[in-house]
Amino acid sequence: MRLKLTLSGFLLCFSVSGFAQSAADCAALTNFTLAGYQVEVTSARWFDDRSLPGGFNGPGMELPPHCHVEGMIDRRIGVNDVEYGIGFALNLPDNWNGRFLFQGGGGLNGTVGEPLGAQAAGGRAALLQGFAVVSNDTGHQAKGPFDSSFFEDQEATLNFYYKANPKVTEVAKLLVSDYYGQDIAYSYFVGCSTGGREGMLMTQRYPSYFDGVVSGAPAMRTSVSNIGIRWVGVQLNQAAPRDAQGLPVAGPMLDESERRLVIDSLKARCDGLDGAQDGLLFNPQACDFDPRQIACGIGGSTDNCLAPAKAEAIHMAMQGPTDSRGFQVYPGFAYDPGIDDPGFLGGILNSANNPPEGPGSTGVLEFDIDSAVLASTRPDLIMGESTSVMMSSFADQGGKQILYHGAADPWFSVNETIRYYEEMAQFNGGLETVKDWSRFFHVPGMGHCQGGEETLDSFDMLSAIVDWVENDTAPDRITATGRSMPDTSRPLCAWPAYPHYDGSGDINSAANYSCKEVE
């Protein structure tokens, strides 16, 4: 208790007094060296104010006074005479609150994103709140989206999988302390997709580095999740229209009226299981929808039923892949109204590539699961997986973890994250024990990390993890809103509880929902 009170006073002092570092203090960081490390601070610039333009990931942002640092760790020449190194950027705000945040990456990384800490921060980036924020490219510089050429270099591969982030953490923490002349009070990691995997790896392999970690839609084992995606495409292709050569035509298997029939039937069966007919399926555990329930007796689709072959194709696709022995290789994708989304990635039933794995699944009718599973176990493919359930050191040191995942994610099944969470809980003493330091939140309608035609994809996981770490207030519920559903809010409940409408009051207000245990 004494430590907590001391640190609380420490943070209060920060927020009241500020640090008022100068441009000269910022520029002096270019002289930073660290024994045993090959570190270059290539630039350190002070900004009284700086504006960032809006883009795909969100609106523009006005940044507070801060020192912007860029650097490189372990610069070298690698395979094929390519220059490699771990590029990083660090934003040090003038109103530092004593906290440090590591911003996770995305995709195959390869670029240094602006260190803001905006993911899952409820619309107010961590930098704006006074966090020192770092980001990095995990050791390679991409020539384009999803540039995988770095996998030819061993060190670059190891850095991407797991080595770069702890190195950047060590260097960035010392830069922060050097700049402010104070130790960091609390350290956090927030990321989604690849960043979600990275956060999980920090809890599993470097349990003392962060006090709190938020991991969204984690890319836990991509060599296996790709099998899951390919499986969906192949199964949907079984009932897709054929071209002159008898091959499936590229594009969605279902037409607009068929997709609407599937989604309307899903909602009719499962939408009200949380007490509210609102298009959001918050109680998936009780949902027993099966597309074969709406199959026609014979023939093609009508306004009221689906062609049997198409109903069977959807059923098989959503079951997930099994091998020749019946072993479940990857969990099936969840039945959620978002599987029909027309957005950037597209829902599983509405993707031009059946689903968004790429052209590899288009036109394919057969899939050798056993061979694919064997190929996925190559050591060079699994070294970066974040599937370890051994978390005792992280928990014993007081670490806190929040996991979240969108139910309509077409790249990584929400059921995979649920599977991991439940297996991890069982290994570590059961759910009631694990809930003291790890919680999972299910987000209906949300696609990959964000977005969805009808979803509440804006929530403040950052404040939740901070309050849990620093005040020991565990998050039973976190309020969610979304641009696609204005004037609507719901609580996200810690799994396996779900929000249930109380039966009175504004049905669009989170205040009128209670977190209910699954019966």
Active site includes 66?
Answer: no
**Which residues, other chains included, contact 394 with Cβ-Cβ below 8 Å and sequence gap of 6+?**
203, 204, 207, 401, 437
Cα–Cα distances in Å, from 117 out to 50, 133, 137, 183, 286?
16, 6, 15, 20, 35
What gap in Å lies between CA 66 and CA 497, rounded to an integer?
41
Amino acid (1-letter code) at residue 445:
G
For residues 468 and 474, is the Cβ–Cβ distance under 8 A? yes
* Residue from 409, 413, 442, 489 carrying the catalytic annotation: 409
Active site includes 442?
Answer: no
For tokens 């969840």, name the residue.
Answer: 334
Active site includes 460?
Answer: no
| Strand order, beta sheet including 477-481 | 458-459, 477-481, 490-493
What gap in Å lies between CA 498 and CA 442, rounded to an integer?
8
* Residue from 135, 187, 193, 351 carrying the catalytic annotation: 193
For residues 437 and 475, is the Cβ–Cβ distance under 8 A? no
* Residue from 66, 68, 448, 500 carrying the catalytic annotation: 448
Residue whose C-alpha is closest to residue 284's, from 497, 115, 501, 111: 497
Burial call 375-413: b when 16+ CB within 10 Å, e when fewer: ebeeeebeebbbbeeebeebbeeebbbbbbbbbbbbbbb
Q: With the CA atoms of 473, 479, 483 and 487 taken in that order, what torsion angle do they form, in degrees rounded to the nearest 10?
A: -140
For residues 206 and 183, is the Cβ–Cβ distance under 8 A? no
Q: Known catalytic residues?
A: 193, 409, 448
